[in-house]
Amino acid sequence: MSQNPTSVPFLGKFSSLAALTAAHPPALVGKIAFALTSDQGLVYANGTQWVTSPSAANSVPNAGSFNTIAALRTAKPAASNTAGLQAYTSDLGAAVNTGIGWVPLGLTYNVQAFGAVGDGTARPLSTLGLTLGVIQGLLYPSALSLTEEIDYNAVRRAIEVATAAGGGTVYIPKGIYIMNNASSQGNIQLPVNFLTTGTPGGQVNIKGDGANATILKWPSDSGANGSLFAMSCGPQASSFATPLTGGRYGNNQYFGYLEDFGMVGPNLTIVKGTVNANLSGLAWGARRFMNRVHIMGFYAGLDIVGDWTSFKDVVVENCFYDLYFPWKSASLYGDLLFSKCSFGNSARAACCIGTRGYMGAKFEGCYLGTSPYAFLNEAATQGTTADSSTHVTSTQFEKCLFENLGNSFIGDDNAQAATGGAGTRNFRWQQVDMSSCYWSFNSGQRDTTQSRNGNYAIVAASLKTFTVRGFTNFIPADIGLFQTDAVQGFQIYTDMTAMFSALQGGKYFCDPTIALNNAITFEWEDSLTARKGNAWRSNTATINQWDLLEFLGNRCVQGTTTISNPVLGAAMHSSLVTAGAFVLVCHTGSVTINAEEATPTGTKWVKRSTVTAGRVVSATGPTDTQVVGYANGANAGATPPNYNVLLSRGQIVGA
C-alpha cells in the first residue's frame, strides 16, 4: 500500500492497547496505520510496536479525536490545517483533510468537499488567487495549469483520494460541473481495480443524483475523431498502432459502477453524415458496470473495449457514433449485456464496429435508431487494412426496436471507395439471433455525404448462422433487402407478407450484381401446438422438393400453370405441410427448379410449365410469357429433371 497520507488505514476503536495489539500485531501492520484505544487514545504503528507519537511512528500527522465531524470542522478548519491531516470522529470514524474540507475515509467522497461548485459556471484555478505550486501542495497535486477548471480538479481529486484509501464511492450532487475549457482537456481517469496478475486494487464508484440532475459538462472540443476522451478506464490510448500493449487493451480490469449522472459533450447539434465533435465520451474498460447514465454530444458516446459488463437504462444520443467498438483487447471481449438502453439520433450509426472491432452482446428491450445506420462497419483507417475476422458473433437481440433508419439496418463503409465507389464489403456476422424485433426506414435520417450503400437493408460481407424469429416489418430498403457476398444458415421464422408485398414493387431481394450462391431460407410454422397465425401459409397442394414457388395474395403457393404470380424461388424440401412447417429459398444466383424436359432447349430461358404445376419449361426468350429466369445448368440424372436457374434479375416480379 502506498505511503500517500490519504491511504493510511484507520483500523478502528479498541478497548485497550493490548486488545489492539492482539488484533493487529504492529509487525504485520507496518508503518502506515493508526487506531483509537480507550486507555492510550490515538496510537500509531511504527513497524515494531504501537506508539502514541506520530513522529515516532513515521506515520501521518493526526489532529486527534472528536465526538462528531462537525466538532472537528469547528476545531480544525480545513483551510487552516495541512491537507492530508487525519483525525478520528465518533460519528463517522476516520476523516482526512482535503484542504477544502474534512472527508470521512473509506465512505462516500463528496466532490463538493474537494472544492467543486456545480453551478454551471466556468472557474479556472486562477480564480483561487494562488500560485500553481501552492495549489498543488495544498489542494490538487495533479493540477498542471492554472487554466484547468476547479470542478474538474475536485472530481479528479475525489477519485484519487478514494483510490488511495482503498476504494469508495465518489458522490457528485445535483448540479452542472464544468470539466474543461479551451486550454484544458479535462480527462477523468478511472483506476484499475484488478490486474491480470491477480493484484487487487481499490474499487472506485461514481454516483450522482440522477442522469439528468448531475451533469458533467465538457464544453470545449479537443482531439481528432475520438482520439481523446472525457472519461476513461485507465490512461487514454495514445495510438491505435499498438493497442494491445496496455490500459484497457491490455486485459486490465476496472471493477466498479457508474450511475445516476449525465455527460454532455461539446456539440449536441447533429447533421447526418457530419462529425459533430472530436472529443469522445467514455472509454470503457472490462468489468465496470453502468446504470442510469445519459451521454450526449460527443464523437463516440461509449467507446467499448473489454468484457463481462452490463449497461442498464443507459441513454446515448446526439453523437457521431453512439456505441463504438474500436479494437478488441488481447483476450477480454464479449459477454456484454444491454438492458432497456437507447442509442439514437446519431450522425452516422447507433452502433459502429471498427475494422478490427468485436461485439458479442445481448440487447434486451433496447432502441437503436433515428440514425443513418443501426449497425455500421467502419472503413479501414488508422493505417490498417480491413480485418477478415468476424465482427459480430454470439449476439442476441430480444424485443428491440430499430426505427427511423436512413440508410440501412446493417451497413458497411468498406463497401464505399474513397470517392463513393463500389469498394469491398468487410462486415461479418455469425451466430446471431433476433427475436420479436422491428425495423423501419425514414429517408429524413439519411446520410448523403457519399454515394452511400444505404439502399439495401442489410449490407455485409457475410451472414452465417443468422436467425430471425417473430420479426415485424422485415422489409427492404429503397432498392432491396440483401447486399451480401456469402450467406450460410440465414433463417427467417416470421410473417413474410410485408416483405414480399414490398418486393412486388420492383425491389430486389438480393443485389443482382452479386453471385450469391448460398441459400436464405424461410420457415413458417403453423401447427396445432404452436400456432403463430395464418397470414403467411403455403397452399394445401402437395409441394415437392425443388418445385417452383409463387406469391399469391398472402400465401406461398406451388407454381401454377395458368396465371403469372410473382416468383418466390424454389422449395428446398418435400412437402412439410402436414407436419406444420414449410421451407422455401429465394435469392439471385443458381436456384434448383424442377423441369419438364431433361435438358433446356433453345435460348435456355425458362418459364412456368402449362402442364405440371411447380415446374418450368424452355422459353423462346426473355420476353416470352411467364418467364422465370435463365437456366445456367441442368441435372439430367434427377427424377424429375431439374435446372439450375438464375432468377430473372433477382427480382420478385411477375413475367
499 alpha carbon, distance to own chain's centre: 29
Q: Which residue has the higher pLDDT, 629 or 444?
A: 444
Nearest to 177 by CA among 209, 210, 149, 202: 149
Contact between 275 and 347 under an 8 Å Cβ cutoff? The reply is: yes
Instruction: Write the Ramachandran bin of 166: left for phi over 0, alpha for psi from -120 to 50, otherwise beta.
Output: left
Residue-averaged pLDDT of the chain: 78
Taking the C-alpha atoms of residue 617 and residue 331, their distance in angstroms, rounded to an integer, is 57
Q: Is the peptide bond before 25 cis (omega within 30 degrees of 0)?
A: no
pLDDT, average across residues 400-421: 78
Q: H or E segment at 607?
A: strand 605-608
Which is more confident, 218 or 239?
A: 218
Tell me what pLDDT residue 47 has: 65
pLDDT of residue 348: 95
Q: C-alpha cell of 31?
A: 508503518
Q: What is the pLDDT of residue 524?
A: 40
| pLDDT score for 493 | 73
Q: For residue 383, give the C-alpha cell.
A: 493505417
Low-confidence winner among 148-162, 270-284, 492-506 (lowest mean pLDDT): 492-506
Note the pLDDT of residue 518.
47
Query: 3-class DSSP state for residue 150?
Result: helix
Instruction: Report how far residue 101's alpha carbon sits from residue 98's, in angstroms, rounded to the nearest whole number.
Output: 6
Q: What pLDDT is recorded for position 552?
A: 65
Q: What does the pLDDT average to over 108-113?
A: 82
Residue 238 has a pLDDT of 42
Strands (E), 334-473: 334-339, 342-344, 349-356, 361-364, 367-369, 371-377, 392-398, 401-412, 428-435, 438-441, 456-469
The pLDDT of residue 425 = 82
Binning pLDDT at 50, 70 and 90, where does residue 405 land? very high
Distance of CA 322 to the CA centre of its chain: 8
Q: What is the pLDDT of residue 655?
A: 27
- Across the range 81-95, mean pLDDT stands at 71
Q: What is the band of 573 on the pLDDT scale with cuts at 50, 70, 90? A: low
CA 456 to CA 463: how far, in whole Å?
Answer: 15
pLDDT in tens, 124-137: 999 988 899 988 88
The predicted-structure confidence for 471-510, as pLDDT tens digits, reads as follows 888 888 888 888 887 777 777 776 666 676 666 566 777 6
Model confidence at 624, pLDDT cuts 50, 70, 90, reads confident
pLDDT of 422 above 70: no
Residue 324 has pLDDT above 70, yes or no: yes
Q: What is the pTM of this model?
A: 0.73
**Residue 313, pLDDT above cutoff 70:** yes
pLDDT of res. 603: 66
Q: What percent of the chain has pLDDT over 90?
A: 31
| Mean pLDDT within 421-445 | 85
- Taking the C-alpha atoms of residue 626 and residue 434, their distance in angstroms, rounded to an integer, is 36
Residue-wise pLDDT tens digits, 4-29: 333 345 566 678 888 888 888 776 66
Which CB contacts under 8 angstroms, 24+ apart, belong to 421-424? 421/451, 424/386, 424/461
Question: Is domain 206-213+220-525 annotated with CATH 2.160.20?
Answer: yes
Q: Which amino acid is at 577?
A: V
Burial of 190 by CB count in 10 Å (0-12 exposed, 13-18 middle, 19+ buried)? buried
Q: How far is the C-alpha of 231 from the C-alpha of 238, rounded, in Å?
A: 14
**Cell matching residue 131:** 500560485
Which cell is 85 given? 491531516
Domain boundaries, the chain: 5-111, 112-186, 206-213+220-525, 537-649
Cα 406 from chain centre: 20
Conformational region of residue 500, where left means phi above 0, alpha means psi within -120 to 50, and beta covers everything else: alpha
Structure-block grid coordinates of residue 195:
490486474
Average pLDDT, integer, range 88-95: 66
Apex CA 509: angle with CA 432 and CA 438, to 5°?
45
Please give the average per-residue pLDDT across 625-646, as a whole number: 77
Q: Which residues pair with 558 in a beta bridge?
A: 549
408 pLDDT tier (thresholds 50, 70, 90): very high
The predicted structure's pLDDT at residue 520: 57
Span 231-259, mean pLDDT? 73
3-state secondary structure string across 160-185: HHHHHCCEEEEEECCEEEECCECCEC
102 vs 464, higher pLDDT: 464
pLDDT at residue 96 is higher than 90: no
Q: What pLDDT score was predicted for residue 572?
A: 61
What's the confidence (pLDDT) of residue 534?
27
Q: Measure the CA–CA gap between 274 and 447, rounded to whole angstroms.
A: 8
